């Protein structure tokens, strides 16, 4: 048993328990991927529970939802914040960095633009939506070009394929290559 009373006998179990204690079960798979990508050194150096908290924090920082605050996580679980900070640094040093914020913003804006185009097509409109202003400043040039032509000339299925591709690109940009590959690529391929 650890300081917090959680059983931390194995990596996966400790991540499950930590994520539940922090009300962050939506981070289970990414946190497991963080631990799998980084190996056992953080757990050996800092203990399973500290390494699990660090993995959940790193996963939260790369998610599209709220980040887990290190200090509040440590307070909740009765852990040393400096040890968790060192474990987070060790994990982040072993992982590929996420894409720069500008690239993630470009991908998000492009997805919103595609969603606007698809909504207009589904509503039966013939004129494309106006994609102007700072919210659309960085969209993909090809998608911007689609928004400049009549919607009857837009291939809806191709646009849906583009959306799936841009969503995957955004996921890769947020997570970094190591975590993305662990979560999305079948080793049998």
The structure's pTM equals 0.83
The pLDDT value recorded for residue 10 is 53
Is residue 5 assigned to a domain?
no
> Are 125 and 107 in a shared domain?
yes
Tokens of 2: 């650890």
34 and 54: one domain? yes
- Residue 154, pLDDT above cutoff 60: yes
pLDDT of residue 4: 47
Residue found under tokens 């894409």: 99
pLDDT at residue 143, rounded to an integer: 95
pLDDT the model gives residue 11: 57
If asked whether residues 21 and 44 sit together in one domain, one would say yes
Q: Is the pLDDT of residue 32 over 80?
A: yes
Q: Does residue 69 sit in the same domain as residue 132?
A: no
φ, ψ at 64 (rounded to 5°)? -100, 15
> Is the same domain home to 48 and 117?
no
Give the domain extent around 118: 101-184
> How far separated are the first and last CA of the chain, in Å rounded?
40
Q: Is residue 6 part of a domain?
A: no
Mapped onto helix, strand or coil, the DSSP state of residue 156 is: helix
Residue ranges of alpha helices (H) inside the chain are 11-21, 28-38, 41-46, 48-61, 70-77, 81-94, 101-122, 141-146, 156-175, 177-184
pLDDT in tens, 82-141: 999 999 999 999 999 999 999 999 999 999 999 999 999 999 999 999 988 888 889 999
Identify the CA nearest to 117 among candidates 143, 95, 136: 143
H-assigned helices in 22-80: 28-38, 41-46, 48-61, 70-77
179-189 pLDDT, tens digit per residue, is 999 998 866 65
Number of structural domains, the chain?
2
For the chain, the residue count is 189
């Amino acid at each position: 048993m650890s300081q917090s009373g959680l059983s931390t006998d194995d990596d996966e179990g400790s991540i499950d328990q930590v994520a539940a204690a922090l009300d962050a079960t939506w981070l289970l798979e990414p946190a497991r991927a963080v631990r799998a990508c980084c190996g056992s050194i953080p757990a050996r150096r800092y203990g399973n529970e500290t390494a699990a908290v660090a993995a959940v924090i790193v996963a939260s920082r790369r998610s599209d939802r709220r980040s887990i605050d290190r200090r509040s996580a440590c307070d909740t679980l009765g852990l040393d914040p400096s040890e968790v900070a060192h474990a987070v640094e060790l994990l982040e040093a072993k992982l590929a960095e996420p894409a720069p914020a500008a690239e993630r913003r470009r991908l998000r804006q492009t997805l919103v633009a595609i969603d606007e185009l698809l909504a207009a097509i589904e509503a039966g409109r013939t004129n494309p939506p106006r994609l102007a202003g700072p919210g659309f400043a960085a969209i993909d040039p090809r998608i911007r070009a689609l928004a400049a032509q009549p919607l009857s000339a837009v291939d809806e299925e191709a646009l849906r394929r583009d959306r799936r591709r841009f969503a995957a690109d955004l996921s890769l940009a947020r997570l970094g290559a190591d975590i993305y590959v662990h979560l999305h690529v079948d080793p049998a391929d």
